[in-house]
Every structure is written in structure tokens, then in C-alpha cells.
Amino acid sequence: MDAFPYLQTKVEALPLRERPAYRVASNAENCNLAELLAVLIGGREQIEITETLIARFGSLGGLANAHPDQIAEVRGIGRDKAMRIKAALGLARKLLEPQEQAPGI
């Protein structure tokens, strides 16, 4: 629980149409890394946690190469969210792999 529940987080301070979840739902392809990660992380402090992740790992590649335990060390992440992040990055890699064609009849 937050020590100061009356303080507004960054996501709460944003107008609805500028919040990461709204932007991803509207057009995920036009979202930046921070917005996509914030939605994946979720919660009241999603933007603050995302900023910490990007600062710590430097880039999407740095995050992709990090061990889940390293990601889990970031305040607000934990093991479950670290595994969700790694799974999402794994899915993204799968999209880049050549797809096998279904056999024709």
C-alpha cells in the first residue's frame, strides 16, 4: 500500500486519452516503448516503474537480454511481472521468425 495514497501518480494525472492503456487500445502501432511497457506492467505506478526499467536497462534490447531475476529487482515488478515481460518479449521474437506455410491440399 502506498505511504501517501492521496498523492496522484503520473498515470492518474494524465487525461484519459493520453493514458497508456487508452493509447494502446486506440492504436498500439503508434505507441512508444514506454507506453507499451506501462500497459504490460499495469497498476497505479505503471509509468514510474516503466521509467525505472528503461533507465536501468537502457533499451528494449537491454531489457530483452536481462535475466528475469534482474528485472524482478526493480521496485514494483516482482517475479510474476518479470516473467510477463520476458514472455511478451519472447512473443515479439516469434513474430520475427519465418512462419511455416500450411501444407496445401
Average pLDDT, the chain: 92
Residue 36 pLDDT more than 90? yes
| 30's grid cell | 503508434
Provide, rounded to the nearest whole percent, the portion of the chain with pLDDT above 90: 84
23-36 burial, b if ≥16 CB within 10 A, otherwise e?
bbeeeeeebeeebb
